[in-house]
Amino acid sequence: MIKKTVLSGVQPTGDLHLGNYLGAIKNFAMMQNENDCLFCVVDLHAITVFQDPKELRNNTYEVTAAYLASGIDPLKSIIFNQSQVTGHAELAWILNCICRMGWLNRMTQFKEKSGKNSENVSSGLFTYPTLMAADILLYKATHVPVGSDQKQHLELTRDIAQKFNNDYKSPDFFPLPDPYIEKEISRIMSLRNGVSKMSKSDVSDYSRINLKDDKDTIVKKIKKSKTADLPMPSSQAKVAEMPEVNNLLNIFVGVTSSTKQELISKYEGQNFSNFKKDLSDALIEKIAPIGDEIKKLMKDKSYLNQVMQEGSNKARNKSDIVLKEVYDLVGFVKPWVTDQNS
């Protein structure tokens, strides 16, 4: 059986939280045994908004440590930081010339992030999706584990790949990548507002569970998390009308083997004190060991450097092959090659 090629990445823009883990990193570890996997620290994406250089370096190490602490094996998967494989930026420029302005104008995430200040945000934020397309297509990835908020960008990647294939009369050159979205958990929301995504940028630290939070902090944050005045309802349809409760149930499902309906049946008619206590225990069992391992790995920068360097070399070896093929299709001249296609 031919293995799928899987690629995804996480931005080094602040403390990693439960949404990063359940929405992405947890899936990475599960996929590596049956697929060819590349997981990058997308530091080029991070600088679409200004990053303090010292913090960017530290966060790059921290994402790498989180990959390792969550079970991603550098002998099974390629772990690297995006900026050290120049093919990402090179292919991004070519794809910028393929992508249409109208396609980018339809990207809802740009509108959400720029808000009323779209004239003053960086052009990099606007063209972010074409860099994401380059990340994926540079390795001819067939599957991309993405959150529901990134699905539109993956659809754009498919459009760009199709147009490139058509323009250069190579119908099968770039595969059209498919999304891998966890069925039970599509998006983890804020602990304080069930309709807002859990985010590193939220001013309230009580809005999220950070992967490095200690046990007492996890208990305190879950205890203070917003639920509802009414007790646990009896059906998923009624839970869907209570976004904060629905979010906590999604988190519970993500860190245990229980289904949402099993949890609803267990806590039906009860207030949320027992539910929150059990959720805290489940989170501590799942998340605390990961946080401890991240802290341990962050003390060994030489090992993290080794992982990123070896991963970058492997990624570069793969990407160079594809980029050379792209250059040939586009018609770029290689002066050192005497016999070139006309």
Summarised one tens digit per residue, pLDDT across range 107-154 is: 777 666 666 666 778 888 889 999 999 999 999 999 998 766 678 889
Considering 113, 215, 260, 286, which one is annotated as catalytic?
A: 113
- The answer to whether residue 88 sits within a structural domain is yes
Q: Tell me the C-alpha to C-alpha distance, in Å, between residue 3 and each of 9, 32, 38, 143, 182.
A: 19, 10, 13, 11, 20
pLDDT on residue 338: 59
Q: Tell me the C-alpha to C-alpha distance, in Å, between residue 271 and each of 19, 229, 267, 275.
A: 25, 8, 8, 8
Q: In the annotation, is 116 catalytic?
A: no
pTM, entire model = 0.89
Q: In the annotation, is 277 catalytic?
A: no
Q: In the annotation, is 200 catalytic?
A: yes
Total count of domains within the chain: 2
pLDDT on residue 200: 84
pLDDT on residue 336: 64
> Whole domain around residue 51: which residue ranges?
4-186+301-330
Q: Higher pLDDT residue, 34 or 341?
A: 34
Stretch 234-244: mean pLDDT: 91
Check whether residue 97 and residue 209 sit in a common domain: no
- The answer to whether residue 342 sits within a structural domain is no
Check whether residue 275 and residue 315 sit in a common domain: no
Considering 26, 140, 197, 212, which one is annotated as catalytic?
A: 197
- The answer to whether residue 321 sits within a structural domain is yes
Considering 4, 151, 163, 200, which one is annotated as catalytic?
A: 200
Which stretch of 22-31, 212-221, 299-308 has the lowest confidence by average pLDDT?
Answer: 22-31
Report the candidate in 84, 87, 92 with the shortest Cα–Cα distance to residue 134.
92
Q: Which helix (H) or strand (E) is 297 found in, with range?
A: helix 273-297
- The answer to whether residue 341 sits within a structural domain is no
**What 8-state DSSP symbol labels residue 140?**
T
Check whether residue 10 and residue 107 sit in a common domain: yes
Give the model's confidence band at 182: pLDDT under 50 very low, under 70 low, under 90 confident, else very high: low
Check whether residue 34 and residue 73 sit in a common domain: yes
- The answer to whether residue 274 sits within a structural domain is yes
Q: What is the CATH number of the domain that holds 313?
A: 3.40.50.620
